[in-house]
Each structure stands twice: as C-alpha cells, then as structure tokens.
Structure 1
Amino acid sequence: MNKSDAYNLKYHITPPYGLLNDPNGLAFFNHQYHVFYQWNPKGTEHKHKCWGHVVSSDLVHWQRKSVALEPSEWYDKDGIYSGGGLVHNEKLYLFYTGNVTRDDGVKESYQCAAISEDGEYFQKTGPLFEHPKGYTRHVRDPKVWGDQNGNWWMIVGAQSEDLTGDTLIYKSKDLSNWKCQGSFFEHNSEFGYMWECPDIINFSENDVFVFSPQGLPEVGEYCRNPNQSGYIVGKLSEIGRFNGNLSDFKELDRGFDFYAPQSFKVNDRIIMFGWMSAMNEEAERAVPTIQEGWIHALTLPREIVLSNGVLYQKPLRELQLLRLDGMHYNGEIQKNSVWQLPSLQVELIINFSMLTANFTMKVRDAVQIDYDREQNSLTVWRTNWLTNQREYRKATLNNRLTEIQMFIESSSLEIFANEGEEVFSLRYFLEDTEQRSVLLEAGDNEGEVRIYQLQECAG
C-alpha cells in the first residue's frame, strides 16, 4: 500500500511499512551516521519488535539498510527492545533489551549485545548479566559510554518491586563482564512508575541525565502528555553516581508528540533524535496512516547545547541542505499576511526585531500558534483526530521571543523558539493537500519572514 501525499513525511525518517517507535543505537561509524529504530515490520501494533536501520553521510539524505536485529534467540525471541550504540576498536556495538514470554506466560527481559565489523551484519553475544534483584521484569533500554579511566558504564531504565521508577548503573572493564553498582542516583520521592530510555550527556560545566518517566501527574501546563521525556542537570561522579535532584526535572519538548529521545556525540557536537509520538493507545489506533500500512516517525535531528542550566535543541546546520535553490519568500512582517506554501515540505523562519503586541499564526488552518506578549508565552493548538476537539500545549519562555523556526510537513510540525529554548513537536492530519496557507496576524510587530521549499529525501 502506498503512502499518500496527504500524510507521508518526505524528509523525516519513517518506516517503509509497519510501526516505528524509539530511536536506537545512534552512532557515527565507518564515515556514516547510523540510526536504528524500533520497528514492527509485520503490522502497526506494538509487537514483533526489530531494529530498523538507516544510514547517512550528512544527516539529511538517508539510505535504508536491511533489518539490523530481529528476534532469533531464546533471550530475545519475543522482541528486540530499545538500547544504544557504541564504537570501539573499529567495531560497532549495539546494546539492547531482549524480550521473552515463557511458555508459562511469565515475561522476562535480558540486557544483550551485538557486534559488527561493517555496520550492517551483527553478531549477537547474548545476555550480559543476570536480572537484578528487587526489580520487576521492566528493566530495559541500556545506554553505554566510556570514561577517561578505561571504564565502561551502562545505565538501564527500571521499575522497582514497589512499582516506582528507577535507573540502574553497571560497570565493566571489557564490555562483556558487568557488575551492578546500584541506583544511578539517590532519590526518595516517587517519580512515576517506570523510567524508560535513560541517557547521560556530558558537558564541560555539568552533566545532564535524560530519561522518560511514565506516570507523572499533570501539573498546570506541565506533563500534559500520557508519558514524558525530560532531564535533570547535575554532576556525574567518578564512581558512576549522578548528583542531581528530581525536583529540577524539565520537559525536553513542550509539544504533543515527543518521547524516548537518544543522543550521541560526534566530534564536538551532541545530536539527538526523538520519537514523534506521545499518544495514548486509543489515539494511536485512530491515526489515518494505519490505513496505509504504516505509523509514526522520528523527529529531525537536533544539536543539544547546555546554557544557564537549560538544554537548547537547535536544528542542525545540515538541515539547510534540505533547502531548494533560492528563497520562496523573503519580506517584512505585515499586520496581516497570508502566504501560500510552495509545497508540503517547508521551512519557515520569523525573526522579530521589535515585538510590541500579541500575534497569531495559522498553519494550513490546522495548527494555530498564539503568542502572549505579557506572559511571554507560546500556545500551540491542533484538532485531535480522535475526538475532533481542539487541544493545546503551552510554554512560557525565559527570554523575550526573537525567533521562531518551523519545519512543516504534510502531517508533522516542529517549532523551535529562540533557537531551541523551547520546542514543540507534533503530528496533525489534514486530507486536503491543496490547503497550504500560512496566516500571520501580527499586530504592530516588526521583523522578517523567510520561507524555503525543502527537498523530498526521507529514509
């Protein structure tokens, strides 16, 4: 079944068919960027998980490779779940969670590895250690890194037997023999019932623990999605303990659809992908692309920068390679402007030289962005495709708004405010491919608007 122009994403990573979820195994190996992802090639349900695989030389143009990992052994026979990647001694290591349902119905999980010399064919090495005591079967998503002293560290998301979230840390000298060091950091408060996809990002001034806690209560404009992804700024000690406070947790993306992010470092840059979904099961089953035999996508890659305790997510400079020759539009902000987009693949940038009033933007009459100058807040509205009701997400900026950069697709939108101080990622679904208008009701605000048409080069 073909993907329709109404919904197909042509510069995002999507599955060729079936279901895609978490980004996995991110690595730069043999002069190529490798992105793996959770993939069910047999349907659009969360079953039969394999690792799909795409590669790129520029983080823009992606080439599909054959499936990297699929269930084949006793320790992963019911699913290859999420994990990370690592390059060592000219080999690419993948760490993943093997999912098993025994004949008696009991479910088990195993942290496993697979190794490749060419980045295409992987040899599984089996479970790395026994399941930790005091934890349910929900131990998964290993992420591994090395330190300057020749040690290897692994963190895994976990659920304690008291049904609260945690992260465990393991230590190794050879990537084969691992010893549990206990909880990654001390915390006394309950913070959701499971922590998925843990990640550690090292900066010169501080370290950042990224994770996806499930079951956080909604508080005001925060934690409004079914599950969250966020971070804590702290310090990673030489003995593998993270010093940070759960009370400092900040959401990474304030939109409707962002979860399970993973980062990797290439030279001096830290690059992150996320899964563009945070839907509950009922909304997921109503996504129109299921009728076409596929569902979900990854976000665009983002460069991660830490500034004054805040993670900024900046669109990669390589994304400018998507721009077709010449600007479609370049002009000053008018009180009321309407542009007809040249296609359903567009980058739109607004720079504000003087912001004196509220404004409203409508993208394809499907997504609305409201700015409140007094609150210095952005509110993003869409129509829920399941309920047909309007819904919103809202964030208050720390700094006065100076720029909005948007990447528009037929059924996705990524909004970067102030070079990634706040980001809104979301899916929307509109059958009318001829509806390509952007309306800006800008009041007395001054600035410049640029619109670029983008290539179609999805993986």
Structure 2
Amino acid sequence: MSRNAVRQDPYRPHVHYTPAANWINDPNGLVYFGGQYHLFYQYNPYSSSHAHMHWGQAVSTDLVHWQERGVALTEGEHQIFSGSAVVDWKNSSGLGDGTSPFLVACYTGHTETHQAQYLASSQDRGETWTLHPDAVLDRGKQDFRDPKVFWHAPSAAWIMTVVHPIEREVELLRSADLHTWTSLSVFGPTGETGGIWEVPDLFPVLDDDGQEHWVLKVDLNPGGPYGGSGVQYWLGDFDGQRFTTRTPSRWVDHGQDFYAAITWHDLPERRVWLSWMSNWQYAHHVPTATEGWRGAMSLPREVGVSVDADGPILVQRPVPELQILRQTLRPLHLGVTSLQVDQAHEFLLNWSAAESFHVRLEFRSEAGIEVSVEVTPEEVVVRRPKTVVTAGLDGYAGEHRAPLPPLGAYDLHLFLDASSLEVFAGGGRAIITDLLFPAQPICEATCTIKGLDHGSFTGALWPLSQADFST
C-alpha cells in the first residue's frame, strides 16, 4: 500500500508510528547507533493477523519522523519472537571483524513446542543481518522468552533479563561474550500474577536529587488493571546479581493500550521507551484490517523517578522532540472553551493547587461524545464509551482511573491522534493510554475548568503537523 493511500484511512495515526501495511505488535531491539534510533518490532509481512513473526524495522534521527525499512530478521526454522539489540563496541561476541562496532540482536526463536534465545548480527548499521543458527540459551521449554540485554559496567559484563511466563518469573543472567550465559538470580512470582509474564526490562534512572533507582518492569496477560494485558513495575536496587525491591508493584500505565515497552540501548543521558499501543483482549479485532494494517506504537517517552511523600514513583513524559510538530498555538481559558479540531492535537494545561478543582475535556464527533478526560485533586479519569464501531470489542468501553498524589502544581498533557489518546498528568505520575475508534472523525473539543483562579491557570492547544513515515 502506498503512503498516499495510507493517508486516506480515518484511523491511521498522524504522529504515532505504524508501518504502511500488515500486523505489528511488541517493539524489539531498540538501540541508538550511528546517530539513528533503531526501532524493530514484531511484524507479519503477509497479513494483518498475528502469525509468521519477523522483525520489522524503522529508523529515525529525531524519534518523530520514521523511515520504514521492511523486514530485518526473517522467519525460517522458527519464528522471530521478541528480544533486544545492543552495540558490541569491542567485539566481545566475536561476531565482528574487529575493525568497528556493530549491532547484535538477541531474540526468542519460537516453534509451537519450543522457545530458546538466539543471536543475529549486523555489520552495516542494521541494513542487513546474519542469523546465527545455534541457540545461546536453551532450557528445553515451550515458554521461555523475551531476552532484554544490556551492558553493566560495574560487572564488566552483559546482563540479560528473560521471562519464564507460566511460572511468573524473571531470570537474570550474566555473560562476557553474549554466547555463554550464567544464571544469577530469579525474581518472582510476586506483584500481579493474574496472567503470564512477558517482556521484562531492567534499567537505572536518577531522581531529581541524583539518586539512582533501578526499574524492573514486566508485562502480564491477562490480569491488567481493567482486564486483558497490562504493565507493572518495581523500583529497587541491582547489585550486579540480584534485583531487590523498595516499592510495591505498581501499574506503568492505567489505560488499556500500553504493552511490551522496552528502553533504547546505548542512548546517552536519558532513558526513553515506547510500547505497542494495543491490548491482547481485542488486538485481533480492532477496526483497521480493512485498510490492510493493524497495530501502532505509542509516542516515545522519557522515563524518570520522582520522590513524593509516599516514596519514589516512576514518571513518564513525552519526549521534547515532539514539539517540532506543533503548529499555531491556540489558548484555552477558564470556564468553558469549545474548539474545532481534526487530525492530531496536543493539549497542555498547568495550574496551581486548589482545595477543589475540576478540569474536563470532551471530544466529540457528529455522533456525540467519543471520549472524555477529567482531572480532580485525587485522580485522572478517561471515559471511553462503546460506539457502533467498537460494539464487538470486548473490554473496550469503560472508565480508566489513575491516582494523583497531593501536589503543589498540576498539569495535564494530552495527545489526541486519529485513533488514540495519551494522557500525562501530575508531572508524568499518572498515565493513561487508550486506543480510540470514533464512530465518525472527532471535530470538536470542549474544555471545562472549575475551581481555579485566573492567575493560577494557563492552557494551550496545538494542532500537530503530520509526522513523516516514509518507506
């Protein structure tokens, strides 16, 4: 399908990455190398259904505009399930020629009865790949997958997190060469265990005072906050062998459609991740397949930690690079503001704390209210009603709530696209990501603000230009 034809699709994202055609799910192999952000993902090049898993590929220089490169890792004796990629700077794997750094992917090879971890390498910055035939980690199990590999400088070794899905366990392993792996420890089962565990990630971030916190994140399906799939995390410490928690399990996202997030490897000075924007509860049935595609990625997010009265908490904020898409600013005022909208928009509201306030955004099409967002001192709520388009999607309609701690200042940062809504509130403490399939295109936004003084509030809306997703 040409990109010109793609633009006519009413649900095709304007600022969220999706390939021109076919099925995608989990992001894989996120790595920054050669001045490019590499995005690989689970991809079926033959249809808009989940089958024949390959790794698709796209690259970007700014996390906003993406060039689709087609298939990177091709299905053969096994399907190419999820995994990660690293830069092998010193040829520790022995897979390079010793003259320059190169990319190594570690992925799960999947058959109907067996899963094990394999390597692939690229000497030309991801343009072409060599799949190496022998498994580097094989436990003889049917369910054993999703290796996330990173370099741990204090140990002078590669560390892998990998899941035992049925057992609800994350295993940590160490290697000097990416081939031979030694088990270090096992985390779990703990936290949310209502579904199998998938797609782990382990990484450090600094809070505002410069203290290091390690984040262990793992997905589960089902057992999410509203049924279907979801993402949980813990904050704690990693000593090179074992992860120990300092917080209870919490949800990464309180919406329905954020799954399988992983962080970019070798990205200096910050942590950025994105996710598959869907839910296994209804992913196979979202109303896009008639246009030849199914699945999209969330916006990239910077990940950090804030320390509140109740302790440290994960925060997520949209990457600042997205601001290059902003068009002419349109102000929002106290009281009621109604605006005509189409395509993609960004909203940013800021206000000082008040004893009682109520901020509400409603998005309407000619068919009526398609979704609403409310913020009070205690929580953020997204209400996603059933429509004629989504009547067959079990679990789609409902209220999604994210708690807010007491704060001195509040904000609501929201991205509305053709078929999605991403809500960031409370300095990135409360996150809700929801797919949105309006019965007709959204044409109006109404912002209602009560309980605030004029001097305490600022609000803005930007229409967003179309991000370039080229092939």
How high is the TM-score relative to the length of structure 1? Answer: 0.88
- Pick from 94, 103, 124: which aligns with 1:92? 103
Residue identity opposite 2:404 in structure 1? L
SS at match of 1:320: helix
- Structure-2 residue corresponding to 1:345: 344
Q: Deviations over 1:208-267 (max 9, x none)?
A: 101112343x7xxxx2231221211111122x211127x711100111211111012511
| SS of residue in 1 equivalent to 2:72 | coil
Q: 188-197 or 268-277: which moved more?
A: 188-197
Q: Which amino acid aligns with 1:291?
A: T
Conservation of the 8 A alpha-carbon contact between 2:107 and 2:117: yes
Is 1:425–2:433 an aligned residue pair? yes
Quick one: distance in 1 between partners of 2:256 and 2:28?
21
Q: Secondary structure at the match of 1:82?
A: strand
Question: 2:384 aligns to what?
Answer: 382
SS at match of 1:330: strand
One-letter code of the match for 1:126?
Answer: P
- 2:323 is equivalent to residue 313 of structure 1: no
Q: CA RMSD in A?
A: 2.1
Counterpart CA distance in 2 for 1:47 and 1:428 is 25
Provide closer, same or farther for how the CA distance between residues 398 and 190 of structure 1 changes in structure 2, counting only shifts above 3 A: closer
**Contact 1:165/1:191 (CA < 8 Å) preserved in 2?**
yes
Match status 1:254 vs 2:272: no
Alignment of 1:60-459 (within 5 A): 60-72=64-76, 74=77, 76=78, 79-89=79-89, 90-101=101-112, 107-118=113-124, 119-132=126-139, 136-148=141-153, 149-159=155-165, 163-183=166-186, 185=187, 187=189, 191-203=193-205, 204-216=211-223, 223-238=225-240, 240-244=241-245, 248-265=248-265, 266-280=267-281, 283-308=282-307, 309-324=312-327, 326-327=328-329, 329-331=330-332, 333-341=333-341, 343-353=342-352, 355=354, 356-364=356-364, 365-373=369-377, 376-384=378-386, 385-387=390-392, 390-400=397-407, 402-433=410-441, 435-446=442-453, 447-459=457-469
How far apart, in 2, do the equivalents of 1:320 and 1:399 lie?
28
Q: Which residue of 1 aligns with 2:95?
A: none
Structure 2 CA distance for partners of 1:444 and 1:5, relative to 1, 3 Å: farther
- AA partner of residue 24 (structure 1): N
- Do the aligned residues in 2 keep the contact of 1:271 with 1:304 (CA within 8 Å)? yes
Measure the CA separation in 1 of the matches of 2:217 and 2:232: 6
Q: CA deviation at 1:404?
A: 0.5
State the 1:284 CA deviation: 3.0
Q: Write the distance in 1 (CA, Å) between the matches of 2:443 and 2:156.
A: 54
Q: Secondary structure at the match of 2:465?
A: coil
CA drift of 1:113 comes to 1.0
Contact 2:221 2:280 (8 Å CA) reproduced: no
Letter in 1 for 2:20: P
How far, CA to CA, are the matches of 2:404 and 2:278 in structure 1?
23
Name the counterpart of 2:94.
none
User: 2:305, 2:348 → 1: CA distance?
Assistant: 23
Judge conservation of contact 2:157–2:174 (CA < 8 Å) in 1.
yes
State the 1:390 CA deviation: 4.3
**Partners of 1:274 and 1:284 in 2: CA distance:** 14
Structure 2 regions of 5+ residues with no counterpart?
A: 90-100, 206-210
TM-aligned CA deviation for residue 131 of structure 1 = 2.5
What one-letter code is carried by the residue in structure 2 that aligns with 1:35? L
**In structure 1, C-alpha distance between the alignment counterparts of 2:116 and 2:427, rounded to whole Å:** 40
Q: Given that residues 13 and 458 in structure 1 are in contact (C-alpha distance below 8 angstroms), is that contact kept between their aligned partners in structure 2? A: no
Runs of 4 or more, structure 1, over 6 Å off, are none
| 2:42 counterpart (14, 22, 38) | 38
Q: In 2, distance between residues paired with 1:189 and 1:275?
A: 22
Aligned-pair CA distance for 1:85 = 1.1
Contact kept in structure 2, 1:22 and 1:261, CA below 8 Å: yes
Under a length normalisation based on structure 2, what TM-score does the superposition of the two structures give?
0.86
* Aligned mates of 1:323, 1:130 — CA distance in 2: 46
Deviation (angstroms), 1:146: 1.5
SS in structure 1 opposite 2:104? Answer: strand
State how far apart, in whole Å, the 2-side matches of 1:99 and 1:279 are: 19
Q: What is the rounded CA distance, in whole Å, between the counterparts of 1:15 and 1:370 in structure 2?
A: 32
Unaligned runs of 5+ in 1: 102-106
Q: Matched residues in 1 for 2:150 and 2:283: separation?
A: 34
Shift of 1:190: 8.0
Q: Percent identity?
A: 29
Whole-angstrom distance in 1 between the partners of 2:346 and 2:132: 44
Aligned mates of 2:285, 2:43 — CA distance in 1: 19
In structure 2, the residue matched to 1:11 is 15
CA contact (8 A) 1:367 1:380 kept: yes
Q: Which residue of 2 aligns with 1:104?
A: none
**CA separation in 1, counterparts of 2:257 and 2:318?**
17
Do 2:19 and 2:68's aligned partners in 1 also have CA atoms closer than 8 Å?
Answer: no
